[in-house]
Amino acid sequence: MLYYRFAINDYPGPLPSKLVMPDGRVVLPEYSPADIIAAGYVEAPPQPSVQPYEILDWNGYDWVVTDPRTIESWKEYRIQEVSKCRRDEEEDFVYGGTPINLNSDTQARIDSAISGLERKPAGSTVWWQSGTTFIQFDLPGLEALGVAAFDHVEACFNNAKVLVEALQACTTIAELDAVDITVGWP
């Protein structure tokens, strides 16, 4: 439980390790309800839960929750959330039943491997590792992986574009909150 002293506009907190009574006596814990009241403490109302963007404050007798968001700041925040979702979804790629972390390094390695195989004799192969799985690719197989990876990344960007446009069209915070940025990903 949290307590405050109304007379001095105290911020709620736990009771101190000792109470000083108006007559100067010091009372040590196991305080009685009468001791708490006599020392000027009042039980604070339960602290409300708040969203990460909200500010919790105390006005001297009750909790106050403030939402500092503006339409512009919240719109920018939600657009940044879409970008984060896009990056996460882009990396979550499965090819031929094998999960591949399709980050920018992996995409560059696919392109490099294709370029390398193009300079090798026909029928040459390369090994690709994803976790503990090794996959052998010839040039057409590696090109198919490259196309699938490209299509996956492009689908992620296309969905991000749709979601950002939906967010940009919003005129209220409630509308921004109603846009579900978890849908439409490949």
What was the pLDDT predicted at 131? Answer: 84
Residue at 67: amino acid letter: D
Q: Which long-range contacts (CB under 8 A, 24 or more apart) does 169-173 make?
A: 170/71, 170/75, 171/71, 172/71, 173/67, 173/69, 173/71, 173/74
Q: Which of 7-11, 69-73, 94-98, 178-182 has the lowest mean pLDDT?
A: 7-11
Query: Residue 152's pLDDT band (boundaries 50, 70, 90)?
Result: very high
Distances (CA, A) of 28 to 35, 39, 62, 64: 10, 12, 27, 32
Q: Cα(128)–Cα(137) distance, rounded to whole angstroms? A: 7
Residue 133 has pLDDT above 80, yes or no: yes
Question: 131 vs 58, which has greater pLDDT?
Answer: 58
Three-class DSSP category at 160:
helix
The whole-number average pLDDT for the span 163-179 is 97
- Rounded to the nearest 5°, which phi and psi values hold at 55? -110, 130
Residue 151 has pLDDT above 90, yes or no: yes
Q: Which long-range contacts (CB under 8 A, 24 or more apart) does 168-173 make?
A: 168/75, 168/79, 170/71, 170/75, 171/71, 172/71, 173/67, 173/69, 173/71, 173/74
Residue 9 has pLDDT above 80, yes or no: no
What was the pLDDT predicted at 86? Answer: 97
Residue 143 class from Cβ within 10 Å (0-12 exposed, 13-18 middle, 19+ buried)? middle
Q: Which of 1-15, 99-113, 166-180 has the lowest mean pLDDT?
A: 1-15
Helices marked H in 26-181: 33-38, 71-91, 104-118, 139-168, 173-178
Given its phi and psi angles, is residue 101 left (phi above 0), alpha (psi -120 to 50 degrees) or beta? beta
Residue at 101: amino acid letter: N
Interval 14-52: pLDDT, tens: 999 999 999 999 999 999 999 999 999 999 999 999 998
Rounded to the nearest 10°, the torsion over CA 20, 21, 23, 24 is -10
Residue at 77: amino acid letter: Y
Percent of the chain with pLDDT over 70: 100
What was the pLDDT predicted at 119? Answer: 96
pTM of the model as a whole: 0.69
Q: Which of 4-8, 30-34, 37-41, 108-112 has the lowest mean pLDDT?
A: 4-8
**Contacts for 184 with CB less than 8 Å, ≥ 6 apart:** 159, 162, 163
Q: Which helix (H) or strand (E) holds 92?
A: strand 92-95
What was the pLDDT predicted at 106? Answer: 93
